[in-house]
Structure 1
């Protein structure tokens, strides 16, 4: 009986993360870890919470932080935000986040450039090896 209990306790503790999944809409929400949201429009604040302990056992801090970020991204997506920023450190399994609309940051506009019609010069073999580009 004792062996069964020893095997079931880790299984029960790992079950805590099964229900927290990143929504499809939240995949486009980025996290501004550097805190730079100066060019963004603030949409509001969300506070998310997860269990940080199961009975007398503290859960892994990294796992708790990951779950808080996933929940914050899910909530921000519901607000039509594309960026979140932590507003404080996690405390007792709860953390405040800011939700922002920053637009398409980092997107480069498409340029109309005609592809080159001249082939790239062949690389001369050096030391018995030839370098071949994977993509043009």
Structure 2
């Protein structure tokens, strides 16, 4: 019975997004992979981390990636940036993003 309840709890929490977008993060855009527009100024790097495992259960990799991107968007304004671009793929719940100040679209 306990195993059934634990399994149900894990499945229920795996569908949840644990990282909400903050108002400052809504203004930050995510640049696609590839060259950065020449009009953007490099503002450094943002490194973010979320839980990729809950106990012995590996969380959905797409959900983890979405949460990492949301965290990067939330953190970008603290680096005076309004755009982020992933520097690589997520690894163990952590990911690096380049931060940029780009002109408004």
- Structure 2: 5+ residue stretches without partners: none
Quote the offset at 1:8 in angstroms. 3.0
Assess, with a 3 A threshold, how the Cα gap between structure 1 residues 5 and 76 changes in structure 2: closer, same or farther. closer
Q: For residues 34-113 of structure 1, what are the structure 2 equivalents within 5 Å?
A: 34-37=33-36, 38-105=38-105
Q: Report how many aligned residue pairs link the two structures.
A: 103
Q: Distance in 2 between matches of 1:44 and 1:73?
A: 14
Instruction: Give the structure with the larger helix fraction.
Output: 2
Assess, with a 3 A threshold, how the Cα gap between structure 1 residues 4 and 79 changes in structure 2: closer, same or farther. same
Instruction: Give the structure with the larger strand fraction.
Output: 2
Q: Select the structure with the greater relative contact order (CA < 8 A; seq sep ≥ 6).
A: 2
Q: TM-score, normalised by structure 2?
A: 0.85
Aligned to 2:30: 31
- Structure 1: 5+ residue stretches without partners: 106-136
State the superposition RMSD in angstroms: 1.8
> 3-state SS of the aligned residue for 2:32?
coil
Q: Distance in 1 between matches of 2:49 and 2:7?
A: 28
Q: For residues 106-121 of structure 1, what are the structure 2 equivalents within 5 Å?
A: none
> 3-state SS of the aligned residue for 1:63?
helix
Assess, with a 3 A threshold, how the Cα gap between structure 1 residues 59 and 40 changes in structure 2: closer, same or farther. same
